[in-house]
Structure 1
Amino acid sequence: MTRLVKDVMTAGVTTVWTEASLAEVAQMMRDQDVGDVVVACGDTVVGLITDRDITVRAVADGVDPLSLSAGSVCTPDPVVIGPHEPAERAAALMRRHAVRRLPVVEDGRPVGLVSLGDLMRERDPRAAPAGAGRAEPGR
């Protein structure tokens, strides 16, 4: 039986407005223990921002994280997928666009996120769970 994106995705999604400062986004990531956040304008997905985006596109250049918005640093117009699409289609989109995660959108609204790790766990249930091997903060 073909698995659908809704069967493997992480339901729910952390979302910020385009105007949110990078400091706000980083605090949200810390508080919710996530490494990626969907950037939205109203109910529309306009970007995706990762902890790496903040590090490479702002902090590494010495930019004050209070002076830049999520919209100015995010990857704009991310590739999205619907929850009722086959999981294999998500994998194909990730390969084609060289990305590791896709916002899952239903009726134009973000409802989840599917990552390369989600798809790997789907193929091999023995694969390490999300966060395995991650050190506790400060270690």
Structure 2
Amino acid sequence: MAQQVRDIMTADPVAVEPDTPVQQIATRMRDESIGAVLVTDSGKLRGLVTDRDLTVRILADGGDVTDRTVGEACSREMVAVAPDDDVDRAVQLMRSKALRRLPVVDNGQPVGIVALGDLAVERDPGSALGDISAADPNA
């Protein structure tokens, strides 16, 4: 039997509304050692914002970020998988779309996230990426 996405996903991902200030999300990412946050609108997945998105789409513009929101920074072209999908499907989507993170959605509601590191730890734990992904985050 093929392994399912639910077996390797991070459950209960952090999700915020699009009007959440980017500074609040950056602080939360730092404090919780996470690199991505799902953006939802009334519980429905709207986008994904990563630490890189905050840098490239917000900080690189310069100026005051006080009034900038997660909705401005998030990726909007969403590709997602279901918890019951085979892990091979997640791998194929990540490979074909060059994604590092993939939201997991069940009946329109985000329930998890699968990262490239999760796949490395599961599929090739002795690899460099597997080792790095399994290590404790930097303080």
TM-score by length of 2: 0.90
**1:128 has 2:102 as partner:** no
Runs of 4+ in 1 over 2 A off after TM superposition: 129-136
Give 1:81 shift. Answer: 0.5
Give 1:11 shift. Answer: 1.2
Cα deviation code 1:52-82 (max 9, x no counterpart): 1101111122142222111111000321110
Give the counterpart letter for 2:125 in structure 1.
P
Q: SS at the partner of 1:128? A: helix
Structure 1: unaligned runs, 5 residues or longer = none
Structure 2: unaligned runs, 5 residues or longer = none
Size of the aligned set, in residue pairs, is 136
Give the counterpart letter for 1:9 in structure 2.
M
Give the counterpart letter for 2:54 in structure 1.
I
Identical columns (%): 42
What is the root-mean-square deviation in Å for CA atoms of aligned residues? Answer: 1.6
TM-score by length of 1: 0.90
Q: Which residue pairs with 1:42 in the alignment?
A: 42
Residues 1-139 of structure 1: pairs in structure 2 closer than 5 A: 1-126=1-126, 127-128=130-131, 130=133, 132=135, 134-136=137-139
CA distance in 2 between partners of 1:12 and 1:129 (Å): 23
Contact conserved, 2:39 with 2:71, CA < 8 A, in 1?
A: yes
CA distance in 2 between partners of 1:3 and 1:125 (Å): 16
